[in-house]
Amino acid sequence: MIIDWYPGHMKKARAQILEIMPKIDLVIEVLDARLPTSSANPLLERLRGDKPCIKVLNKNDLADPTITKRWVTFLEKQQGVKAIPLEATNRRDGGLIPKMCRKLLPERCKAKKPLRVLVVGIPNVGKSTLINTMAGKKMARVGDKPAITTCPQQIDLRNGILLSDTPGLLWPVLDDIAGACRLAASGAIGDNAFDTIEVGVTTAQYLAEKYPALLLKRYKMAELADSPVRIVEELGRRRGCLIKGGDVDLHRAAELVLREFRSGSVGRISLERPEETGGAFNQGVTLDENQAQD
């Protein structure tokens, strides 16, 4: 599965970041705590150079807390990087970010000059929500779909920090199959840009490998089926995703898997771990047409 999804506003966002970066003192990169590697943009690392960076692991309430702790340790081994897990809607969490900014650049604060901070992140990662929380009011548009922020804006927090916000930025062609599938599962990519059944089945397989107890509890099953497709079929059958004749509508069942993963209904789940990114997402799931219709 190759996802080719690079709307025009993302090309503008790249150009805007290139233009503004020399004027920036510090970068805040908002990541999805469930997939910190796939939700990071490799372009940013090249653009920011030696500028300090705060890696915000957003949606912490949806991620596996044990895995998130390991991610914080891993990320902070990078030069000039501090990492913090949080929920972008939580005011207390949002209030920690300005303090971290000042701590990273104490000399700038002593000079009584505003800290110029660039906030970046892929679509639908919670960047605009975090900005609104930090500002204490609605300053940036938010939504549950990608491509909400389409124009750059500057926001004065009136606490010595000047934020620059840009549209969510993905790379032009997502030819990393595993990473693309994780992004699709998380909701960072528009539903029309990927095969829902393929991503839903792959997600179900990963959950069965890494979090089988959560699946069994959520769907009140005694045991899991012997293949990812059959797992999705069984979940769909239990939730009424049926078509005429009583067969399972696999597309609706796959949508159910993704919806319940994204909302946290299945439990707190991380799709990536610092030490490895194995499992179903790296192996890929080949859908046998006959098996899918059995």
pLDDT digits (tens, 9 = 90+) for 125-157: 998 899 999 988 776 544 444 444 444 578 888
Give the pLDDT score at 16: 72
In the chain, the domains with their CATH numbers are: 3-165 (3.40.50.300), 195-293 (1.10.1580.10)
Query: Is the model's pLDDT at 250 over the cut of 70?
Result: yes
Give the pLDDT score at 286: 43
Helix, strand or coil, per DSSP, at residue 85: strand
* Contact (Cβ atoms closer than 8 angstroms) between residue 134 and residue 98: yes
User: Strand 161-165 and strand 153-156: pairing?
Assistant: antiparallel
**d(Cα 219, Cα 226) in Å, to the nearest integer?**
16
Angle, nearest 10°, between helix axes 177-186 and 250-263? 80
Q: In terms of pLDDT, which residue wins out, 137 or 116? A: 116
pLDDT band at 279 (very low <50, low <70, confident <90, very high): low
Q: In terms of pLDDT, which residue wins out, 224 or 291? A: 224
Q: What tokens appear for 274 in the block? A: 């610092």
* Contact (Cβ atoms closer than 8 angstroms) between residue 207 and residue 283: no
pLDDT band at 11 (very low <50, low <70, confident <90, very high): low
User: What element of type H or E holds 12?
Assistant: helix 8-20
* Contact (Cβ atoms closer than 8 angstroms) between residue 180 and residue 281: no
What's the per-residue H, E or C state across 126-137? CHHHHHHHHHCC
**d(Cα 61, Cα 56) in Å, to the nearest integer?**
13
**237: Cβ contacts below 8 Å, ≥ 6 apart:** 248, 253
DSSP bridge partners of 171? none
Q: What tokens appear for 84 in the block? A: 């913090």
Query: Is the model's pLDDT at 185 over the cut of 70?
Result: yes
**Over the stretch 85-99, which tens digit does the pLDDT of each residue have?**
999 999 999 889 999
Query: By C-alpha distance, which of 84, 95, 20 is closest to 53?
Result: 84
**d(Cα 249, Cα 251) in Å, to the nearest integer?**
6
Please give the mean pLDDT across all residues of the chain: 83
Give the pLDDT score at 222: 95
Give the pLDDT score at 56: 97
107, with CB counted inside 10 A (0-12, 13-18, 19+), is exposed
What's the per-residue H, E or C state across 199-210? HHHHHHHHHHHH
Q: Which of 6-10, 22-26, 110-114, 229-233 has the lowest mean pLDDT?
A: 6-10
* Contact (Cβ atoms closer than 8 angstroms) between residue 214 and residue 229: no
Alpha helices in 176-288 (DSSP H): 177-186, 196-210, 212-218, 228-238, 250-263, 280-283
